[in-house]
Amino acid sequence: MEKATENAKNPAPAAPVKLLGSWASSYTHRVQLALRLKGLEFEYKEEDLGSKSEELLRLNPVHKKVPVLVHGGRALPESVVILQYLDDAWPETRPLLPADAFDRALARFWCHFADDKLGPAVGAVFASTGEEQEAAVRQVHENLALLEAELRDGAFRGRRFFGGDEVGFLDVVLGCGSYWLAVFEEVTGARLVDADAFPLFHAWLRDFEALDDVRETIPAVDRLLEYARGVRHMLLGLAGAGGAANPADEAPVAAPPAAATDIAVDI
């Protein structure tokens, strides 16, 4: 990632931590929440994703995205990679991953599910209308049903949080993203998290959102709503009346407002 400079040594745990992020980015929220849960001090730098800083482009030349964690001068991108690093670098302060090897692997598996299946399905609801949106809503429901089954009879049975009595790695990954569900419901009119259909998932999300660290991390719903309305308007404008199958393919000619395309595909 960064070149071999005087900084290219393993940072001491006490070395300063800085986070480059964006206020509406759920990936940024994952890292902010993990840092808060672990009680780690950090400096936050807000990025304008419509006009990325030279620092961001230098520190994340591969994806040019936030979040990027800088620890002792060394830079690390990708939210899930960062979360794992936080646990590796500060193992004593509130581990986020479970202690058991199999449970750790399962948490990682469901993180992939969140990023590869659930997130894109929710993004497709946000970026479409009509029949296309109905199909995307069905996909969200199928994915939520899978999680509900795990909470009811599977790996997470009987737990308040995916991590157990307290939130852990998977809660952070799934939770920072799931708060968009209510925002997208409001903006699109689609019903995504029906408490009758997904009672355990619904209860989990309610408990997660009530935590002080989470409330400190997630922006006010009014702000998210305003942002999401603007992005949806722009996406549907770009995509034409029916909406795009994959908004990422509808690359705008002009630079979009901050993170406009990401919210739809990557919430």
Q: Which residue ranges make up the site for ligand GSH (CB under 6 A)?
A: 22, 25, 27, 49, 64-67, 78-80, 259, 262, 266
The smaller minimum CB distance to ligand GSH, of residues 59 and 151, is found at 59
The smaller minimum CB distance to ligand GSH, of residues 79 and 128, is found at 79
The smaller minimum CB distance to ligand GSH, of residues 49 and 97, is found at 49
Collapsing DSSP states into helix, strand and coil, what is residue 196? coil
Smallest gap, in angstroms, from Cβ of residue 48 to ligand GSH? 10
Collapsing DSSP states into helix, strand and coil, what is residue 217? helix
Report the distance separating Cα 53 and Cα 115, nearest Å.
26
By DSSP bridging, strand 68-71 and strand 43-46 are unpaired
The smaller minimum CB distance to ligand GSH, of residues 84 and 143, is found at 84
Which residue, among 156, 150, 158, 157, has the nearest Cα to 168 in the 3D structure?
Answer: 156
Smallest gap, in angstroms, from Cβ of residue 197 to ligand GSH? 28
**What's the start-to-end Cα distance of the chain, in Å?**
25
Smallest gap, in angstroms, from Cβ of residue 36 to ligand GSH? 17
The smaller minimum CB distance to ligand GSH, of residues 65 and 232, is found at 65
Smallest gap, in angstroms, from Cβ of residue 110 to ligand GSH? 15
Provide CB contacts within 8 A for 29, sequence distance 6+: 176, 217, 218
Smallest gap, in angstroms, from Cβ of residue 185 to ligand GSH? 20
Whole-Å CA distances, 1 to 5, 8, 14, 64: 11, 10, 22, 11
The smaller minimum CB distance to ligand GSH, of residues 27 and 208, is found at 27
Q: How open is the CA angle 145-129-177, to the nearest 5 degrees?
A: 45
Smallest gap, in angstroms, from Cβ of residue 7 to ligand GSH? 21
Which residue, among 167, 229, 224, has the nearest Cα to 22 in the 3D structure?
Answer: 224
